């Protein structure tokens, strides 16, 4: 009797072990950044008549933020770095786009310039694989398959493939070209970025794949935001996104993000010239989207100008510290359709080189980027507006990871 009982117990225990479901593997993540995709394009998609079927389907099944408040400065490379570090530029150290001659040691090309841990490092530390296509500040990064944003020459916003190949994972450009001969176009543009992304999804299946599409941003600089041409380029970006989604394995989550909003710019206001004409001189730090000062006379003059034409809202001191990491006696945004110029001589008002721009203060009304997340384990929901520095945690959670700042 005891022997039978023991056998029954052993059989029952073995049955329980056999029947227990295997623990689900952590989701993988495709992270697509559409540079310059202002939240208004998605929020007002019906009013604009946008033909963006793939983004529309994602909106219907995703967690969708009511816009994302960016970081200062609201430009491409600092913002993309905040997306994967969860901290503002004042902490992660990437304060502008890379510029000047290609010198990895001097500008912001290299991942070694980032002073805090990144999402890709977190994924690698967990023993999982990563890939990046045209992601800023990734030269020399600990990324399994890497096509960094790096260039010695540019065609619009496209990087020369020769330079990309030099700093990419060895052999990767040759491998993609062998499988997809059209990838050998001289420039890494949105189309060839998509070719590379599709290749990586089919052949490597990295746990995290980040791709940065650039051409929506470029069109808005040249012709302004929300124009028929800007909408057409966004619709092309949606087509390319569709190419990625069609072959995306079922175990992938998808996140769509952008780095900043966009504003139309009618003219440049050279505040130093205007102040000098009014007989005011003193400390004035001018960026395109913000002027700040610690000089009492200049602060008083700016307050007098606020709301009268070129100078807009006074930025509260707590916002300066929170978003910019600095303090000032006074700081102001430009008025709508205005950017500030830094010229100290010449005309007070000048014609802008670009009809559209970013680089405005992050809390500017309606000036927000996007966040959509869908996939395994993600419950669709309408979220409140989010801060850009909160997105790293959400992306890590989608990957089943807890990453440190």
Residues 6+ apart with CB under 8 A from 384: 65, 66
Residues 6+ apart with CB under 8 A from 269: 310, 311, 334, 338, 339, 340, 341, 348, 349
pLDDT digits (tens, 9 = 90+) for 331-386: 999 999 999 999 999 999 999 999 999 999 999 999 999 999 999 989 999 999 99
- Residue 389 per-residue DSSP state: G
| Fold: same for 28-263+364-398 and 266-353 | no
- Segment 181-204 shows an average pLDDT of 98
Contact 51, 352 (CB under 8 A): no
Confidence of residue 25 (pLDDT cuts 50, 70, 90): low
Residues 6+ apart with CB under 8 A from 350: 267, 268, 270, 341, 343
- Residue 348 per-residue DSSP state: S
The C-alpha angle with vertex 342 and arms to 340 and 345, in degrees rounded to 5, equals 120
pLDDT computed for residue 4 by the predictor: 42
pLDDT computed for residue 359 by the predictor: 98
pLDDT computed for residue 135 by the predictor: 98
Record: fold of 28-263+364-398: Alkaline Phosphatase, subunit A (3.40.720)
| Overall pTM surpassing 0.85 (yes/no) | yes
Q: Quick one: which H or E segment has residue 43?
A: helix 39-43
Separation of alpha carbons 112 and 139, rounded Å: 8
For residue 150, give the 3-state DSSP assignment: coil
pLDDT digits (tens, 9 = 90+) for 276-309: 999 999 999 999 999 999 999 999 999 999 999 9
Tokens 């997306």 correspond to: 83
**Segments making up each domain of the chain, as ranges:** 28-263+364-398, 266-353
Domain 266-353 has CATH 3.60.40: no
Backbone angles phi, psi at 313, to 5 degrees: -70, 140
Rg of the chain on CA atoms, in Å: 24
Please report, rounded to a whole number, the percentage of residues in the chain having pLDDT higher than 70: 94
Backbone angles phi, psi at 383, to 5 degrees: -100, 160
């Amino acid at each position: 009797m005891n022997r039978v009982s023991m056998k029954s117990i052993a059989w029952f225990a073995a049955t329980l072990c056999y029947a227990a479901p295997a623990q689900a593997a952590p989701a993988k993540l495709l992270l697509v950044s559409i540079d310059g995709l202002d939240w208004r394009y998605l929020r007002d998609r019906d009013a604009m008549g946008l033909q963006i079927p793939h983004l529309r389907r994602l909106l219907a099944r995703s967690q969708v933020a009511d816009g994302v408040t960016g970081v200062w400065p609201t430009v491409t490379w600092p913002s993309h770095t905040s997306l994967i570090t969860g901290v503002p530029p004042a902490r992660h150290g990437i304060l502008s786009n890379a510029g000047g001659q290609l010198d990895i040691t001097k500008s912001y090309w290299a991942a070694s310039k980032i002073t805090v841990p990144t999402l890709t490092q977190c994924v690698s530390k967990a023993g999982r694989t990563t890939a990046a296509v045209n992601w800023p500040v990734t030269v020399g990064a600990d990324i399994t398959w890497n096509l960094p944003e790096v260039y010695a020459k540019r065609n619009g916003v496209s990087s020369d493939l020769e330079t990309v190949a030099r700093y990419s994972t060895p052999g990767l450009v040759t491998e993609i070209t062998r499988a997809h001969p059209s990838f050998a176009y001289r420039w890494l543009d949105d189309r060839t970025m998509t070719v590379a992304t599709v290749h990586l999804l089919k052949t490597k299946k990295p746990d995290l794949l980040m791709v940065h599409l650039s051409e929506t941003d470029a069109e808005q600089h040249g012709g302004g935001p929300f124009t028929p041409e800007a909408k057409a380029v966004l619709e092309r970006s949606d087509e390319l996104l569709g190419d990625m989604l069609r072959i995306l394995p079922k175990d992938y989550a998808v996140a769509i993000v952008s780095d900043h909003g966009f504003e139309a710019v009618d003219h440049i206001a050279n505040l130093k010239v205007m102040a000098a004409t009014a007989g005011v001189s003193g400390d004035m730090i001018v960026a395109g989207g913000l002027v700040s000062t610690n000089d009492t006379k200049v602060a008083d003059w700016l307050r007098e100008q606020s709301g009268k034409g070129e100078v807009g809202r006074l930025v509260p001191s707590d916002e300066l510290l929170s978003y910019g990491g600095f303090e000032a006696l006074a700081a102001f945004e430009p008025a709508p359709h205005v950017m500030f110029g830094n010229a100290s001589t010449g005309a007070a008002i000048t014609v802008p080189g670009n009809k559209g721009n970013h680089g405005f203060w992050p809390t500017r009304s309606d000036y927000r980027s996007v966040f959509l997340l869908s996939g395994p384990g993600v419950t669709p929901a309408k979220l409140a507006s989010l801060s850009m520095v909160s997105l790293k945690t959400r992306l890590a959670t989608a990957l089943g990871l807890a990453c440190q700042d």
